[in-house]
């Protein structure tokens, strides 16, 4: 893979559960991202962190709560989700959010199923 | 607002034939364009990018893309397709609204290369 790891790879949860997704990057990057990938829809940017500060919250429902304790780790805390939240959640990192030239490096994703 | 469009949900190609995956863009200012590939159960992998300079950009795995300003297109190409090229391909454009860099992705095109 590309130096970005995500755990767990698969998660099944009920609507009343609380769970967390974890992302770790080993590339020395300063920006980290959460995306949602649903079938037959474009990737949806959810959150952006730049030097541990949240710089984007793309109208994401409050049942998704991100946390970025340092530039290498990113979490997505989940609670009271809905079945329509079932999707592949992708984490990405890049050298610096403000640079125009830097591509993003993606993790393998967490396949989430909400029952 | 910046956007990209991938007009084909799926492209079918015989192995050994040339392939083209189409992308058109709409931007204000200079376009910074990217192609990513997603293999099954994997995250997105960066293929190539256009920032400035030559209109023909070469990338990973023998892929290239041609930037055409007059047609606002950035089509992905490969002279001879392999079965292993079968995957989901995403075009993306840089968006700096909000004062920082993020990518806007197309809906993706599934490439199927048949033996």
Q: What is the pLDDT of residue A1?
A: 47
**Model confidence band, residue A2 (pLDDT cutoffs 50, 70, 90):** low
Per-residue pLDDT of B18-72, as tens digits, reads 999 999 999 888 889 999 999 987 889 999 999 888 899 999 999 999 999 999 9
The pLDDT of residue A53 is: 78
Position B102 scores a pLDDT of 79
Can you list the positions of beta strands (E) in A26-94? 31-37, 44-50, 53-57, 64-70, 73-79, 87-94
- Interface check for B29 against chain A (CB to CB < 8 A): the answer is no
Q: Report the alpha-carbon distance of residue A8 to residue A23 in Å, rounded.
A: 9
Per-residue pLDDT for B98 more than 90?
Answer: no
Residue B108 has pLDDT above 60, yes or no: yes
Cβ atoms of residues B13 and B19 within 8 Å: yes
SS3 at position B2: coil
A104 CB within 8 Å of a chain B CB: yes
DSSP, collapsed to helix, strand or coil, labels residue B62 as: helix
Q: Is B107 in contact with A40 (Cβ distance < 8 A)? A: yes
Return the pLDDT at A91. Answer: 96
- Chain A positions touching B34 (Cβ under 8 A) are 103
Token pair in block for residue A50: 């730049």
Q: Are A88 and A112 within 8 A, CB to CB?
A: yes
How far, in Å, CA of A113 to CA of B1, rounded? Answer: 32
pLDDT (average), residues A14-23: 93
Stronger pLDDT, A53 or A32, i.e. the higher one: A32
For A57, nearest residue in chain B (alpha carbons): B98
d(CA B7, CA B10): 9
């Amino acid at each position: 893979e590309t130096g970005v790891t995500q755990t767990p790879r698969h998660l099944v949860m009920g609507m009343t559960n609380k769970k967390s997704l974890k992302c770790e990057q080993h590339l020395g990057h300063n920006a980290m991202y959460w995306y949602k990938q649903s079938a037959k829809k474009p990737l949806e940017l959810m959150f952006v962190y730049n030097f541990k500060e949240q710089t984007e919250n793309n109208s994401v429902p409050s049942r998704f709560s991100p946390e970025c304790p340092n530039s290498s780790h990113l979490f997505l805390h989940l609670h009271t989700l809905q079945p329509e939240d079932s999707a592949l959640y992708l984490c990405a990192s890049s050298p610096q959010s403000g640079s125009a030239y830097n591509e993003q490096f993606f993790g393998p994703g967490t396949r989430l199923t909400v029952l | 607002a910046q956007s990209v469009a991938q007009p084909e949900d799926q492209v079918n190609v015989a192995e050994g034939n040339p392939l083209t995956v189409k992308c058109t863009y709409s931007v204000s200012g200079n376009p910074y364009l990217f192609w990513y590939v997603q293999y099954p159960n994997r995250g997105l992998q960066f293929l190539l990018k256009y920032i400035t300079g030559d209109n023909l950009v070469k990338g990973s795995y023998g892929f290239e893309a041609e930037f055409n300003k007059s047609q606002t297109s950035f089509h992905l190409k490969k002279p001879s397709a392999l079965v292993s090229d079968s995957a989901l391909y995403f075009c993306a454009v840089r968006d700096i609204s909000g004062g920082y860099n993020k990518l806007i992705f197309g809906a993706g095109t599934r490439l199927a290369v048949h033996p």
